[in-house]
């Protein structure tokens, strides 16, 4: 159940390909975490930790067992006052948690960072146990009592969306002491195995031509023009994944069983229902999305990869050729300043306000860009808390996809800044809608670059890259979702061997990639390094949801006379205060409409049509 808005860990990395740590790029910023706290031992942090403990104990003493009286009162003894205090404490705990998490993800191999992160997690869990009663007692209040309170207490009325959201958890709420046990045991259960996964992955090195290098640099080899280099990178990855298979298999089995126990106790019917509830999206909507994407595999991934194999001069591509650059692609390093201006210019062309917010991330050191050993792989935007500001992590090495990743994460950052106006309890957007601004930011940047293409060849390369990114975001993520469904379903019958998990992985990969991709030995273990499966089970469909939604949203933008930007900013500012149906209605969109997903997928198909036409013209 969702109890607190502050995160103990970062958002999972977006599904971008990796970068190399060998390319030198100047002017890469490192984030300024001192905006949160000066250091791990600073008086400011230690003082806030002491204050957080005191306030948590005081809050429990003041309000536990007294919410029935509070709901009937107003002013200092009313429910509005209680929620206001709770929100302020939530923000304080979130600031501490964010600092610990971002410090840890700056270098996960640093023993001091790991200890600090673990100690802070333990303390936050202890303090949270004193606040657990609040949501539980609120959900035991009758609807009539809460409604009457909202009518008479204007402070409480402000939190109406949060109260409605909270009460959606009510059917799955357990007895107080069981909830407390779940919370306290999480430190030695799921959280511990998440940390084991992270630290194992961060410590892996891969030998390529006698040189040991980290995961990101090795994944980056799959984007090199030379087929032999791509093959060496893939074989190095497969070898190391196989050597560490026991750990990854244990983590996967343990976390899947842990989730099954929680779901069973809470009464969730389907293995993904808890994620749907957290995302505030209905199961039929997700089922329709998954079915639409699977039905489109032949028209999207199968068709595109067949074309790409021909471009690369192959009858069939190896699995490590999937993200290879097309022939004649200019293999240059894009300087950081150019990437910055590319994204900001695209954002400015849509709305100067959007560019203005994004510019603060550069000017005020809210971005950590260099790729370095021990740093979290991939990319993410961390919202922290409304009293502070978001941070963005990327591993930037100057690839075109790195520019798109930057545009994606800055979209998240802009969204998080705007939604912060809702306060700590209502600023967080469900994952499905959280991908809206990020994917929209990517689309703006892509369209701006495409408009500058001078030749058909240049346009073809850019379109192909965008189609690949969209396939990675839609087709690949739904395949990931189907893989998770197979794993969690099979795990109910007992532990799964690494070979069994590998076979499930291959079954969905073969189905989604199609006959133009040769699946050879070694690829069966590539499920091991995907963090989404570990940190947030079933998170991945949110990417496909966001991409298809943005495709439809962008079509509305292209055909809108005026007013689109204002409606778009209202959507972002809403945070978690509105359901997706309310947020999409002003644009004439409805995710519950069976044809909605077909519209989003048709944009990808249209880009493939254009590629095919360009290929014919050539």
Question: pLDDT tier at 17 (50, 70, 90 boundaries)?
Answer: very low
Instruction: Give mean pLDDT, residues 196-207.
Output: 94
Is residue 6 pLDDT above 80, yes or no? no
pTM assigned to the model: 0.89
Q: Which element (helix H / strand E) includes 392?
A: strand 391-393
- State the burial class of residue 528 (Cβ atoms within 10 Å of its Cβ: 0-12, 13-18, 19+): buried
252-280 confidence digits (pLDDT tens): 999 999 999 999 999 999 999 999 999 99
Length of the chain: 618
218-258 confidence digits (pLDDT tens): 998 998 999 999 999 999 999 999 999 999 999 999 999 99
- State the burial class of residue 558 (Cβ atoms within 10 Å of its Cβ: 0-12, 13-18, 19+): exposed
Is residue 88 pLDDT above 60, yes or no? yes
Question: pLDDT tier at 618 (50, 70, 90 boundaries)?
Answer: low
Q: Does residue 514 contact residue 470 with C-beta atoms inside 8 Å?
A: no
Integer CA distances (angstroms), 135 to 64, 71, 82, 268, 423, in order: 11, 13, 11, 19, 17
Q: Which of 55-59, 130-134, 399-403 has the lowest mean pLDDT?
A: 399-403
The mean of the pLDDT values for the chain is 92
Express the helix, strand and coil content of the chain in percent, nearest 5 each.
Answer: 70, 5, 30
Quick one: what percent of the chain has pLDDT higher than 90? 85
Q: Which residues contact 593 (CB under 8 A, 6 or more apart)?
A: none
Q: Which residues contact 173 (CB under 8 A, 6 or more apart)?
A: 1, 136, 139, 179, 266
Is residue 23 pLDDT above 90, yes or no? no
Question: pLDDT tier at 74 (50, 70, 90 boundaries)?
Answer: confident
Q: What are phi and psi of 206, to 5 degrees?
A: -130, 130
497-552 confidence digits (pLDDT tens): 999 999 999 999 999 999 999 999 999 999 999 999 999 999 999 999 999 999 99
Which of these, 123, 131, 153, lies nearest to 63 by C-alpha position? 131
Q: Does residue 100 contact residue 121 with C-beta atoms inside 8 Å?
A: yes
Is residue 413 pLDDT above 90, yes or no? yes
Half-sphere exposure of 55 (CA within 13 A, CB side): 18
Instruction: Give mean pLDDT, residues 95-99.
Output: 98
Q: Which element (helix H / strand E) includes 317?
A: strand 317-318
> Helices 43-63 and 79-106 meet at what angle, rounded to 10?
150
Provide Rg for the chain, Cα atoms: 24
Q: Three-class SS of residue 66?
A: coil
Q: Domains for the chain: give ranges and CATH numbers.
A: 34-168 (1.20.140.70)
Question: pLDDT tier at 617 (50, 70, 90 boundaries)?
Answer: low
pLDDT of residue 333: 87
């Amino acid at each position: 159940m969702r109890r607190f808005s502050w995160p103990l860990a970062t958002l999972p990395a977006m599904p971008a390909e990796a970068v190399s740590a060998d390319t030198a790029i100047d002017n890469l910023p490192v984030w300024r975490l001192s905006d949160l706290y000066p250091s791990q031992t600073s008086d400011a942090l230690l003082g806030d930790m002491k204050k957080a403990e005191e306030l948590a104990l005081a809050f429990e003493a003041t309000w536990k067992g007294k919410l029935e009286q509070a709901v009937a009162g107003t002013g200092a003894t009313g429910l509005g006052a209680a929620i206001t205090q709770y929100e302020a404490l939530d923000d304080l705990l979130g600031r501490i948690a964010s600092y610990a998490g971002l410090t840890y993800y700056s270098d996960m191999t640093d023993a001091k960072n790991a200890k600090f992160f673990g100690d802070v997690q333990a303390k936050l869990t202890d303090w949270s146990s004193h606040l657990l009663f609040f949501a539980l007692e609120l959900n035991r209040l009758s609807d009539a009592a809460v409604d009457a309170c909202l009518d008479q207490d204007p402070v409480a009325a402000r939190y109406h969306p949060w109260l409605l959201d909270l009460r959606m958890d009510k059917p799955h709420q357990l007895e107080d002491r069981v909830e407390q046990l779940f919370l306290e045991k999480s430190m030695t259960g799921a959280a511990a195995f998440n940390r084991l996964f992270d630290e194992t992955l961060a410590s892996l090195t891969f030998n390529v031509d006698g040189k040991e290098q980290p995961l990101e640099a090795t994944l980056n080899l799959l984007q090199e023009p030379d087929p032999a280099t791509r093959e060496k990178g893939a074989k190095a990855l497969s070898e190391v994944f196989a050597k560490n298979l026991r750990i990854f298999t244990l983590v996967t089995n343990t976390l899947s069983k842990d989730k099954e126990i929680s779901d069973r106790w809470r009464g969730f019917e389907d293995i993904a229902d808890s994620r749907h509830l957290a995302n505030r999206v209905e199961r039929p909507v997700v089922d329709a999305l998954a079915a639409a994407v699977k039905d489109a595999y032949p028209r999207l991934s199968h068709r595109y990869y067949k074309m790409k194999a021909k471009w690369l001069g192959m009858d069939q591509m190896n699995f490590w050729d999937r993200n290879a650059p097309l022939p004649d692609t200019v293999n240059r390093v894009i300087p950081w300043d150019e990437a910055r201006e590319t994204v900001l210019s695209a954002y400015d062309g849509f709305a100067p306000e959007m560019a203005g917010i994004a510019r603060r991330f550069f000017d005020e050191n809210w971005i950590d860009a260099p790729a370095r050993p021990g740093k979290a792989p991939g990319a993410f935007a961390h919202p922290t808390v409304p009293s502070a500001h978001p941070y963005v992590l990327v591993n930037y090495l100057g690839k075109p996809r790195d520019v798109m990743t930057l545009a994606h994460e800055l979209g998240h950052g802009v969204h998080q800044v705007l939604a912060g106006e809702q306060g700590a309890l209502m600023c967080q957007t469900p994952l499905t809608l959280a991908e809206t601004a990020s994917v929209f930011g990517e689309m703006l940047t892509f369209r701006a670059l495409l408009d500058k293409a001078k030749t058909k060849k240049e346009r073809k390369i850019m379109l192909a890259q965008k189609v690949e990114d969209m396939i990675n975001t839609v087709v690949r993520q739904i395949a990931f979702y189907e893989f998770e469904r197979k794993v969690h379903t099979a795990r109910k019958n007992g532990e799964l061997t690494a070979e069994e998990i590998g076979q499930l992985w291959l079954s969905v990969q073969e189905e989604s990639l199609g006959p133009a991709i040769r699946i050879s030995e070694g690829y069966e273990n590539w499920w091991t390094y995907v963090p989404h499966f570990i940190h947030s089970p079933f998170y991945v469909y949110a990417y496909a949801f966001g991409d298809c939604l943005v495709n439809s949203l962008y079509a509305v933008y292209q055909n809108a006379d005026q007013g689109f930007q204002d409606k778009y900013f209202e959507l972002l500012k809403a945070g978690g205060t509105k359901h997706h149906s309310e947020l999409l209605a002003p644009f004439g969109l409805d995710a519950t409409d069976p044809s909605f997903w077909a519209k989003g997928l048709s944009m990808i198909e249209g880009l493939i049509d254009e590629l095919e036409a360009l290929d014919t013209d050539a």
